[in-house]
Amino acid sequence: MTSEEWQIVWFTAWVSALSTLVILPFGLALAWELARRDWPGKSIVETFVSLPLVMPPVATGLILLKLFGRRGTIGGFLHGRLNFDVIFTWRAVLLALSVMSLPLLVRSARVAFEEVNPRLEQIARTLGAGNWRVFFTITVPLAARGIIAGMILAFARALGEFGATIMVAGNIHGKTSTLSLTIFQDVQLGQDTNAFRLLGVSVVLAFAAVWFSEFLLRRKIKTR
Amino acid sequence: MKAFFCLLTLAFITLASVNIRAAEITVFAAASLTDSLKEIAAGYEKTSGDKITFNFGASSTLARQIDAGAPADIFFSADEAQMDGLAKKDLIDPATRKSRLGNMLVVVIATDSTLQINSASDLTNAAVKQIALADPKAVPAGVYAKAWLTQQQLWPAIEPKVVPTENVRGALAAVESGNVEAGVVYKTDAGISKKVKVAYEVSAKDAPDISYPMALVKESKQPDAAKDFLNYLDSQEAGDIFKKFGFILRD
Amino acid sequence: MSLLLKNISLPLEPFTLGVDVEIHSLVTAVFGPSGAGKTSLLDLIAGLRRAQSAFIQLDDRVLTDTTAGFFVPTHQRGIGYVPQDLALFPHLSVHQNLLYGCKSGGAANTLFSFDHVIQVLEIQPLISRGVSELSGGEKQRVALARALLASPRLLLLDEPLASLDAPLKAKIIPYLTRIRDEFQIPILCVTHDRLEALALADDIVLLVGGQVLQTGPVLEVFNRPASADVAKFVGVETIQPGTVTIVSDGLAKVSINNATLTTIAPETAACDVFVCIRGEEVILQRDAATGSSVRNHLPARIVALRPEGALVRVELDAGFPLFALVTRPACVELALREGESIIALIKTPAIHLVPR
C-alpha cells in the first residue's frame, strides 16, 4: 500500500465518520417523530426517507447534482450569496454519504425508540422532567444499543458509497477520491493489483463494522 | 395437416425476419465521435442493409473492455496509444488499421460566463477555480490536454484545479452545468453544444498530434461486414460528414 | 384539598368516560371492575391524556380547561403517579430512580425529605441495588418513594396491590396507610379490590362502564348501594326483586316470591324494590331457634356448597336464591350437605332495599 492509498483510506474513513455524526441529530429527531407520533402525511415522509435505500444511487446522485450545482436551487444560493461550492469538493462527498446512509440510521433508531416503553417516558414527565430531559435521560439511554447499531450501519454504508458520490464529487485526486471511486478508477486503468489491494481494505472495514453492529444488537437481546 | 401449416407459417416468419445478407456490427468508438458516427451509420444502414450498434465511451475504457473479451467488431480510438495497447496484445488486425482523423483542442466556458481566457496561462488565474478534463491518466482527450499544458509548463499550476471526468463528454457536461469555470475538450465537442462557447483554441503548433485510428478487432464474428463498414468510413461520403462536424481528415 | 373533575368526556372503546365529581377527602378510592376507565381517568388527571372535554382543578390551580383551550403539561402539574407496572427506570439504579424527581435547590424545596421517605418505606437497604434485583414488594415501595420524593401535591396510585399475592398485600397496606398518615398527602387510588378500598380509603368513587354510579364514604357505598348495579359491583351476594307489602312503625314487610322478610322501611315509598343481602349477614342454623332477636327465619334447602379459602359459599333456596358465607369449620360442624334443609337467619337491619 502506498502512502497515497493510505491517504485515500484515511479520507474515506473520516468523511464517513463525519457523515454519520452529521446525520445524527436530524436522523434521531426524525426517527423519534416516526416512532411516537402520528400525523397526516406520515406515510409520505416514511417513503421519502426510504427512497435512497431503494433508488439507484446514481439517480439519487443526479438529484443532488441538480439541487446543489451552481445552477440549482440550493447550490445557486450557496454560490451566489456565500461564495460556497459543494459540487466537485469534499463537501459533495459528505453530502452524498449523508443522504445515502441516513435511511439506515433512521430505520434502526426508529425500531429502538419503538421498543422503549412509553409508560417510562410518561412517568418521567410526572416526576417533573420536560420533553428534552425525558428524551436524553430516558428515551436515548434505553434505545442506545439500537441507535449505535444504526450508526455503525450508516458508517459502513458511507464507507462503500459510489454511485451518488461519483455523480456529485467526481474522483478528484487528493480531494474527493474515496476507496470505492479509486477501486473503480484502478480497474479502468488496468491496475487490477492496486484495485484488489483496496478491495481487501474495504472488505476488512465493512466486515468489522457490520460484525460489531450485529454484536451490539445480540448483546441487547440477551440482557433483556 | 394443421401441424404442417403451423410449421410452414413459422418457417416463413423466421425466414422473413432474417435477411440472410444482413449483419449486425458492433463499433466501440471514442465518445467524441458520437454524433458524427451516428449520422454516418444511419446512411450506411439504409444502403447496405447491415445494422450498426455503437458503444461510445472513453477510448481507454473501451480498450479495457475489448481486452476483457467484449464483443466488438471495430475499434475507433481517439489516440494511437490505446490502439497500440491492443495491437501489442494482438487483438486487432494491423492490416486494417488506419489513422483516419485529427482534431483540435479548445478551452470552453459556459455561454453566459464572463471569464476572459485568451491564452493558456489565463487558466492559472484565481478566477478559474476548477477545470474539467477527461481523466488525464488514460482518457485520450485528457492525455492530450495534459500534454499541451505540460509543454506550456503550466501543468503543475493547473493540476490542483483539475476535475477529472470519465470521458470528454463528461467534461463538456461539467462546463455546461456551470459547476466548473472552464474545460478542455475537442473542438468538435464544443461544436455540438449550445451551452458552451470556445474561449481559446489551442493552435496546432502548441497542441500534441491528435490522431484517431480505426481497426478491425481480430475476434470479430463478422469480419467481412466489418471491413465493408471500415471501407465506408474511409470513403469520401463519410469524410464529408466528419468534416461537417469539424474533424480534420488525415490522409 | 379539593380535586374538581368536571364535564369530563373521553371516548373509549366501547363506551365513553363521563365523570363529574368533586373530591375532598384525603384518600379516595376509584373503585370499579376492570376496563371501567379508571386508569384513563388517572391519565387525564396527570395530563398524560387529553379529553374531548374536561375541567380539572386541583386546589386553586386549574390544570385542564378544554373550553378555554388551557392545558398544563404533565411535568408542571406536580402530580405523582405510580402506575400498575410501576415503571421503574431499568437503566438507572434504585438511588438514581429515587432522585429522578427531586427538584434541584436542596432540601428547602422538597415537601418530604429524602431520609424521611426512605425511613417510612423502609428502603434503606435497597438503595445501592439495581432495579432488576428487587422483589415485587420492594419495587412497589421504591416506586412509591420515587413518586413522593418529587414533592407531589396529589398522589395517583393505579391498582397498587393488584400484582401482589395475599401475604404481600398485607405487608404493603401498612406502608400505604403510613404514607397517608405521615405525609398527609391526598391520594387517589384506583382499585377493583373491595378490601383494598376498605383498608385505605375514606371516600369511594364507583366507576362502572365509564360512568360514576355512586360516591361517598366507603362504608356507606358498600352497605347502602344506591342501585342494584352498585350493589352488584360492591359485592353484595344476594340481589333479588321483591315487593314491599306493608309498612308500619318504621319497619316493612317485603315479599320475594312466597317468602316474606322484615326489613327497615325504605326512605322512598317504593313498592318494587331490589332486596340486597350480604352473604356475611346470613346465619345458618340447624333447628328453629326460639328467643332470638332475629326477625327473619327462613326455611331453606342447600343447593350448593363452594369452598372459598377459609370460607364456604352456601347457595340456598329459600323460595328465592340466597347466598350465605360461613366458615369451613362451621360447615363441618353443622354437617352441611347439598339437598338438606336448614334455617337461614337474617337480621332486619342487614337487609338493604334499593328502589326498582
Model confidence pLDDT, tens digit, residues B70-87: 899 999 999 999 999 999
- Interface pTM, i.e. ipTM: 0.81
Distance from C-alpha of C219 to C-alpha of C202, rounded to nearest angstrom: 9
CB B35 within 8 A of CB B192: yes
Q: How many helices (H) and strands (E) does chain C have?
A: 9, 21
Segment B110-129 mean pLDDT: 91
Segment B202-216 mean pLDDT: 92
Report CA Rg, chain C: 24
Q: What is the pTM of this model?
A: 0.76
Q: Distances from the Cα of B195 to the Cαs of B178, B198, B224, in angstroms?
A: 10, 10, 41
Quick one: pLDDT at residue C137?
A: 86
A42: distance to nearest CA of chain C, Å? 22
**A142 contacts C74? CB cut-off 8 A:** no
**A188 contacts B64? CB cut-off 8 A:** yes
Quick one: pLDDT at residue B69?
A: 87
Give all chains having 3 or more CB-to-CB distances under 8 Å with chain A: B, C
What's the grid cell of residue C51?
A: 379529553
Quick check: A170 contacting B, CB < 8 Å? Answer: yes
pLDDT digits (tens, 9 = 90+) for A41-96: 999 999 999 999 999 999 999 999 999 988 889 988 998 888 888 888 899 999 99
A100-104, A170-174, A200-204, B154-158: which has the minimum mean pLDDT?
A: A170-174
**A173 contacts B179? CB cut-off 8 A:** no
Q: How many contacts does A have with B, using Cβ atoms within 8 A?
A: 42
**C75 contacts A129? CB cut-off 8 A:** yes
Quick check: A70 contacting B, CB < 8 Å? Answer: yes
**B130 contacts A70? CB cut-off 8 A:** no
Residues of C in Cβ contact (< 8 Å) with A136:
none
Instruction: Return the residue in C43, C48, C102 with the most chain A beta carbons within 10 A, the one to mutate for interface testing.
Output: C48
What's the grid cell of residue C193?
A: 379490590
**Where do we find the cell 492525455?**
B143
Give the rounded percent of residues in chain A with a pLDDT score beyond 90.
67
**A120 contacts C75? CB cut-off 8 A:** no
Closest residue on chain C to A130 (Cα): C75
Segment B191-217 mean pLDDT: 92
Instruction: Return the residue in C50, C100, C131, C146 with the most chain A beta carbons within 10 A, the one to mutate for interface testing.
Output: C100
Quick one: pLDDT at residue A224?
A: 43
pLDDT digits (tens, 9 = 90+) for A16-36: 999 999 999 999 999 999 999
* pLDDT of B100 strictly over 90: yes
Give the confidence band of B185 by pLDDT, cuts at 50, 70, 90.
Answer: very high
Distance from C-alpha of B147 to C-alpha of B141, rounded to nearest angstrom: 10
Residue C125, preceding bond cis, omega within 30 degrees?
no
Instruction: Return the residue in B133, B166, B179, B195 with the most chain A beta carbons within 10 A, the one to mutate for interface testing.
Output: B179
Closest residue on chain C to A127 (Cα): C101
Quick check: B65 contacting A, CB < 8 Å? Answer: no
Which B-chain residues 204-223 have CB contacts (< 8 A) with chain A? none
A121: distance to nearest CA of chain C, Å? 9
- Walk me through the domains of chain B, giving residue ranges and CATH numbers: 2-102+211-249 (3.40.190.10), 105-201 (3.40.190.10)
Give the rounded percent of residues in chain C with a pLDDT score beyond 70.
96
**What does the H/E/C string look like for A43-73?**
HHHHHHHHHHHHCCHHHHHHHHHHHHCCCCH
Helices A90-114 and A140-159 sit at what angle, rounded to 10 degrees?
140
Quick one: pLDDT at residue B81?
A: 94
CB C321 within 8 A of CB C315: yes
Mean pLDDT per block of 10 residues along chain C (356 residues) reads 88 87 90 84 93 91 92 93 93 93 63 84 89 89 92 91 76 80 88 79 89 87 80 81 87 90 80 85 84 88 88 89 90 89 91 78
Phi and psi angles of residue A187, each rounded to the nearest 5 degrees, phi first: -65, -40
Q: Which residues of C283-292 are buried (b: 16+ CB within 10 A; e: fewer)?
A: bbeeeeeeee
What is residue B221's three-state secondary structure? Answer: coil
Percentages helix, strand, coil for chain B (3-state, rounded to 5) are 45, 25, 30
Average pLDDT value for chain A: 90
Give the confidence band of B16 by pLDDT, cuts at 50, 70, 90.
Answer: low
